[in-house]
Amino acid sequence: MTFNLTKKYPALLELNHLSDTDRINSLKRIFNRDIADNSDFSFRGKKIYPVKSEGMIDMEREFKHLTCKQIIEESEGKKYPKRVYDPFRSERLHWIKNHIEEKVSDSIFEIFSTIERDPKKHKDIYRTYIYNITRKYVIVLEPQLRNSQAYYLLSAYYLNETYGEKQMKQKLSNRLKVVY
Secondary structure (H, E, C), the chain: CHHHHHCCCCCCCCCCCCCHHHHHHHHHHHHHHHHHCCCCCEECCEEEEECEECCEECHHHHHHHHHEEEEEEEECCEEEEEEEECHHHHCCCCHHHHHHCCCCCCCCEEEEEEEEEECCCCEEEEEEEEEECCCCEEEEEEECCCCCCEEEEEEEEECCCCCHHHHHHHHHHCCCCCCC
More confident residue, 46 or 54: 46
Average pLDDT over residues 169-174: 96
State what percent of residues in the chain have pLDDT above 70.
98
User: Per residue in 115-146, pLDDT tens?
Assistant: 999 888 889 999 999 999 999 999 999 999 77
Q: Indicate if the pLDDT at residue 165 is higher than 70.
A: yes
Q: Model-level pTM greater than 0.85?
A: yes
